Amino acid sequence: MGEPAPSARKPSGLTREEGVARIRLIRSGGIGPVNYHQLLARFGSASAALEALPGLGKAGFKPFSVKAVEAEMAAVRAAGGRYLFHDGADYPALLALAEGTPPILIVRGDPAMAARRPVAIVGARNASAGAMKLARMLARDLAGEGCAVISGLARGVDAAAHEGALSAENSAGTVGVIAGGIDIAYPPEHAALQERIAREGLLISEMPPGTEPTQRHFPARNRIIAGLAMGTVVVEAAPKSGSLITARLAGDYGRAVMAVPGSPLDPRAHGGNDLIREGAVLVQRIEDILELLTDFQGAPRMPLRAPKQEALPLAVPDAAPIPQPPAGDSADERIAALLGVAPIGVDDLIRHCGLPAGVVQAALIDMELTGRIIRHAGGRVSRAV
């Protein structure tokens, strides 16, 4: 298979074979970030998980091929990018704490930038001139105070935030999180801005090169923005917008959620105003933001945050065996009997079914792979309809 691609830098102790196996695993159909981490916890490595999956009841499971991984690695290298694995030293520390952490990121630029007191600024694509001016000013001042500004490279507030951060003297930089491949500029008119962020800041994607962004990719991008930042500022947003998704995810992760108030006469301000009513912190100046982030420890800052489930370990030394359920009904049958269409927390499920946590987690992996359950935010599951 040749020497490792320069773009595929690996955490210390990760072999090339295991690095390729991890890419194969996350690119395989039916494998998402949650069950990826669960499989690594159960089997100890991606290589072992790939070998075991066909026997877990996943009908027709077909892992991503080594040849396809080699082609992807070559495309990453050609785009000037490299991989960050979830347990690597360069992987953003705050993102690693968030639920549903992307197992693998593809980046261009300096990953250390994500550790510079990161603050997300998000808002409407069809933003008002006043909102874009304010986003640009806040981003410029925050970057000048040593805060890396994170946004999603969309039209409107996102672009203004990136531009403001880049314009600051002694800027801490800006981080752009995109919904498509690292080699795809979207929207097309932001190609020059995206390239400048890649050269002077940090550009992040979890999608393979060549992936054109579609509607379903943007909520996944939003969770990365929220997970990267100490706090998220909503400058202007309509109800049910992507910016509100980002803000609510930030609250779920225990990060600060802030919103700039707007006129009740402008529908673009209703989402931000609703956030303030629900518990987000009203901010109008950089001092308001910096005060809220002082002594940030990742603890809940406002009632927008739902109780977080205890994180599961991402690895099990020496592939520790999973305990077996007691005699009687199988673990799958016990769990299925307790599940309904309304999501329930995994911790509650463990308490009610009377099985060891390891047995329940292993059974949930099997049930997810066979399409019998659906995972939801907040560590919850439900029966597939």
The answer on 224 and 121 residing in a single domain is yes
Lowest mean pLDDT among 178-187, 221-230, 311-320, 364-373: 311-320
How many CB atoms sit inside 10 A of residue 107's CB? Answer: 26
Q: Among candidates 368, 383, 382, which has minimal Cα distance to 29? A: 368
The answer on 36 and 160 residing in a single domain is no
pLDDT of residue 334: 82
pLDDT above 90 for 381 = no
CATH at residue 345:
1.10.10.10
On whether the CB atoms of residues 361 and 41 are closer than 8 A, the answer is yes
Of 108, 143, 173, the residue that ends a domain is 108
The pair of structure tokens assigned to 83 is 């991989």
User: CA–CA separation, 193 vs 190, rounded Å?
Assistant: 5
How many helical (H) and strand (E) elements, i.e. helices and strands, does the chain have?
15, 12
pLDDT tens-digit map of 13-42: 689 999 999 999 999 877 889 889 989 988
Domain encompassing residue 64: 16-108
How many CB atoms sit inside 10 A of residue 307's CB? Answer: 10
In a domain, 11, yes or no: no
In a domain, 3, yes or no: no
Question: At 17, is the secondary structure helix, strand, or coil?
Answer: helix
Q: Structurally, how many domains does the chain consist of?
A: 3
The pair of structure tokens assigned to 132 is 């874009």
The answer on 279 and 131 residing in a single domain is yes
Give me the helix-helix angle, 331-338 and 346-353, nearest 10°.
Answer: 120
Confidence of residue 322 (pLDDT cuts 50, 70, 90): very low
Q: What are phi and psi of 128, to 5 degrees?
A: -70, 160
The pair of structure tokens assigned to 284 is 């109008």
The answer on 21 and 63 residing in a single domain is yes
On whether the CB atoms of residues 56 and 366 are closer than 8 A, the answer is yes
Characterize the bridge pairing of strands 281-282 and 174-177. unpaired
* Pairwise pLDDT comparison (115 vs 305), residue with the higher score: 115
Average pLDDT over residues 155-170: 97
Confidence of residue 313 (pLDDT cuts 50, 70, 90): very low
Q: Which amino acid is at 182?
A: I
pLDDT above 60 for 320 = no
Of 108, 132, 166, the residue that ends a domain is 108
pLDDT above 80 for 80 = yes
Confidence of residue 296 (pLDDT cuts 50, 70, 90): low
In a domain, 287, yes or no: yes
pLDDT tens-digit map of 182-234: 999 999 999 999 999 999 999 999 999 999 999 889 999 999 999 999 999 99
In a domain, 302, yes or no: no
User: CA–CA separation, 146 vs 262, rounded Å?
Assistant: 27
The answer on 265 and 209 residing in a single domain is yes
The answer on 210 and 336 residing in a single domain is no
Token pair 């066979």 is found at 370
CATH at residue 185:
3.40.50.450
